Amino acid sequence: MSSKTRIICVIGPTASGKTAKAVALAKERDGEVISVDSRQVYRMLDIGTEKATKEEMDGIPHYLIDAVDPREIYSAGDFVTDANSRIADIAARGKTPILAGGTHFYFDALLNGLPKETPADPEFRKTLEALSDEELFARIQAQDPRRAEKIDPHNRRRLTRALEVIQKHGQVPERTPSDTYEVEWVVLMPEREELRARLEKRLKDAFAKGLIEEVRQVREYVGDERLNELGLEYKVIGEYLREERTEESLIPALTAKLWQYAKHQMKWMRKLRLPTNTA
């Protein structure tokens, strides 16, 4: 019998139904859910990150949601530490650890190890400040295509860090996969037309629930610089609150950007070459 801890990993692009699938699996397999989401870990980011409600959790314990103040930085290293601890606790109680979320970099860090430690280079970072997110991502694509396939192209902090590591090592160093877990993958991949329709509906629902007001409150609490690091919805609506774009432009702009991000997620999942489920 394997000494590895068995875990279930539910992955899928934005709006693919990961939360519902994780809850259903938890009921079937006597499990508890660990969120693998770099934004749901923060308090206050509720509507914009589509956090599961208590009703949607349906009595299933969920971890690493609402765990961190949004003014703090929660890193992949923090996630690996917390996820390992939660997995051990869940498994020790005879339950099944179910990890679900769309932050594939977190899955990668947990299962394949963290990148080699590289000290920060403030002077190099200054040379990147004038570049847009698109320009930073293009540099990574040119210098380290393997890293570009896995990174969130809209997360400026991670883009800057990747370029910093590439500048030091020539590319982001390979890591040694963990031998701790036996992974059962559940990959959700709806048809593109269906996924886009879901994404558009979810975005319109978020606005109806008060997304603009949520972003306004988060902005007042964390400031504009940090707001821009908290994801597309917060960055784009922040531009509207600063009168840099019109309210009418919000849904079209976010729809386009979120669809681009979803396609990036799907590209990463296809490289896993795993069986997929439509959901």
- Single residue among 157, 190, 223 that ends a domain in this structure: 190
201 and 72 share one domain: no
Note whether 158 and 200 are same-domain residues. no
Domain shared by 79 and 181, yes or no: yes
* Residue 264 or 230, more confident: 230
**Domain at 19, CATH number:** 3.40.50.300
Same domain, yes or no: 35 and 131: no
Q: Spell out where 115-213 has E strands.
A: 181-188
**Looking at the structure, do residues 45 and 67 belong to the same domain, yes or no?**
yes
What is the domain count for the chain? 3
* Matching residue, tokens 């370029």: 163
Q: Is the pLDDT of residue 279 over 60?
A: no
In a domain, 108, yes or no: yes
Claim to verify: residue 73 and residue 107 sit in the same structural domain: yes
Residues 185 and 78 in one domain: yes
Q: In terms of residue numbers, what domain contains 139?
A: 122-169
Whether residue 272 has pLDDT greater than 80:
no
- Mean pLDDT for 236-247 is 97
Residues 110 and 225 in one domain: no
> How high is the pLDDT of residue 62?
98
Across the range 185-211, mean pLDDT stands at: 95
- Percent of residues, the chain, with pLDDT higher than 70: 93
